[in-house]
Amino acid sequence: MGIAIVIAAIIVLLLLITAAKMHPFVALISVSVGVGLAMGMPLIAPSPETPGIIDSIKAGLGNTLGFLAIVLALGTMLGKMMAESGGAERIAKTLINRFGQKRVHWAMMVVAFLVGIPIFFQVGFVLLIPLVFTIAIETGISLVTIGIPLVAGLSVVHGLVPPHPAAMAAVGIFKADVGKTILYSIIVGLPTAIIAGPLFGKWIGSRIHKSVPADIAEQLVQQKEARELPGFGNTLFTILLPVILMLIASVANVTLDQKSEAAKVLRFIGDPIVALLIATVYSFFSLGYARGFTRDAVLKFANDCLGPVANILLVIGAGGAFNKVLLDSGIGNQIAEVAKHSHLSPLLLGWGIAALIRVATGSATVSMMTAAGIVAPIAASIPGTNTELLVLATGAGSLILSHVNDSGFWMIKEYFGMTVKETLMTWTVMETIISVVAFMFVLLLNVVL
């Protein structure tokens, strides 16, 4: 019964988002109410031990956003400081100079992987695409050859590496360790980005040659006023500071006595919220005041960048609400029982469910959140499940087969001046390579660990 309700809920959710064109936030909350009603949950909580439908939705949304709203806000401000100060441009130029023109597509992948850690896919893309255009114009290399490694690097980081929103939310739902997840995501992500980026990019770029679209070139490749860029070391340190702090905390968890003061301090500093807070405040100085920006200017950057985050936050919060209703209604336990007897690996389930929802809705965030909600109780009931790798498997599934129902698909098509067929041959194939290759590496890592 419970499983039939979940399947029906997912179908209704997909129809609301795709056919009815309902906003994912409204669709997820509506479906959450429907699941609660279908499972016979009380409308209003009769006692604290038995949550009502609305209590479940409020608790799920609140618990998810209580953590993520802070992480997202701080991460977005950090990304904005990099963009405005010229830090992203500095990293790109330094790496391109080091790699040389012949290997410039490798440089773009490394740039995207580094710059993508603290910022959203869309922000990173808009930030770095002028560089791709500039290089394509200067070198005459196909836009596809240089552009695919850029979007591959950004996409891998977006889907797999905390503190990205969906990956971070999955860490919370699966109760995984953030530091270990970051470490494993880099081990899995770098070779995946290499295969889907420079290697596939060079191959497909030789078959589809694209020049920079004239109208976009005029707007973006204007000669920027010669401004002094921040130092490479300073910028790189600013981006990697939260990652370094989180990794130190994970090492302290393994090596130090947990009752010692040193362990407590390192765990506190390495908490994602504190690590990002330290890095963001540091960026106000290193990339803001030290670069000659006034306090008013830095405040304006921080204000301006928060608007676009609201939409993402609401969808993630609604995903958390859906997950909580599944758990409180008892469906989670029923699914876990069936899965225990099906002998399917939680890793395969996480990847498969996320992949199905991604193909149907086009949203990596919705698919990762929904899959995590469904698979978490199963994973909890199967001893020995590596929750960190489960985050990565679900993230890999959520990237598969981006097509016409994904806003990212249309963004790539327009910026690269491609037809729908060409976008399917380049972007869609690249996303699918990332999903399948990353999952293969997750399975390999699972064998090793």
What angle separates helix 295-306 from helix 53-85, to the nearest 10 degrees?
140
Mean pLDDT of 100-122: 79
Give the pLDDT score at 223. 46
Mean pLDDT of 398-416: 77
User: CA 421, CA 171: separation in Å to the nearest integer?
Assistant: 36
Amino acid at 350: G
Q: How many CB atoms lie within 10 A of CB 127?
A: 23
Mean pLDDT of 50-68: 86
Residues in CB range of 303: below 8 A, 6 or more apart: none
Mean pLDDT of 234-261: 81
SS3 state of residue 50: strand
Closest C-alpha among 441, 368, 434, 426 to residue 400: 434
Mean pLDDT of 210-236: 68
Contact 253, 265 (CB under 8 A): no
* pLDDT of 70 above 70: yes
* pLDDT of 243 above 70: yes
H-state helical runs in 256-386: 261-269, 272-283, 295-306, 309-328, 331-342, 346-361, 364-381
SS3 state of residue 131: helix
Residues in CB range of 290: below 8 A, 6 or more apart: 230
> Radius of gyration over alpha carbons of the chain, in Å?
22
Amino acid at 412: I
Strand partners, 47: 50
The chain-wide mean pLDDT, for the chain, equals 82
Contact 170, 395 (CB under 8 A): yes
Q: What pTM, to 2 d.p., does this model score?
A: 0.70
User: CA 272, CA 284: separation in Å to the nearest integer?
Assistant: 18
More confident residue, 68 or 63: 63
More confident residue, 305 or 405: 305
Closest C-alpha among 325, 247, 233, 346 to residue 286: 233
Contact 260, 252 (CB under 8 A): no
Mean pLDDT of 71-96: 78
Mean pLDDT of 269-295: 89
Q: How many CB atoms lie within 10 A of CB 48?
A: 7
More confident residue, 101 or 26: 26
Contact 176, 246 (CB under 8 A): no
pLDDT-derived band of residue 257, with 50, 70 and 90 as boundaries? confident
Write a three-state SS string for 206-248. Answer: CCCCCCCCHHHHHHHCCCCCCCCCCCHHHHHHHHHHHHHHHHH
User: CA 85, CA 109: separation in Å to the nearest integer?
Assistant: 21
Give the pLDDT score at 222. 45
Closest C-alpha among 375, 447, 433, 380 to residue 402: 433
Give the pLDDT score at 315. 79
Contact 249, 271 (CB under 8 A): yes
* Tokens, residue 30: 């509506």
Amino acid at 311: N
Contact 335, 352 (CB under 8 A): no
Residues 321-378 have pLDDT tens digits of 887 887 788 776 676 666 666 677 889 988 988 888 787 666 787 788 888 888 888 8
* Tokens, residue 320: 């958390």
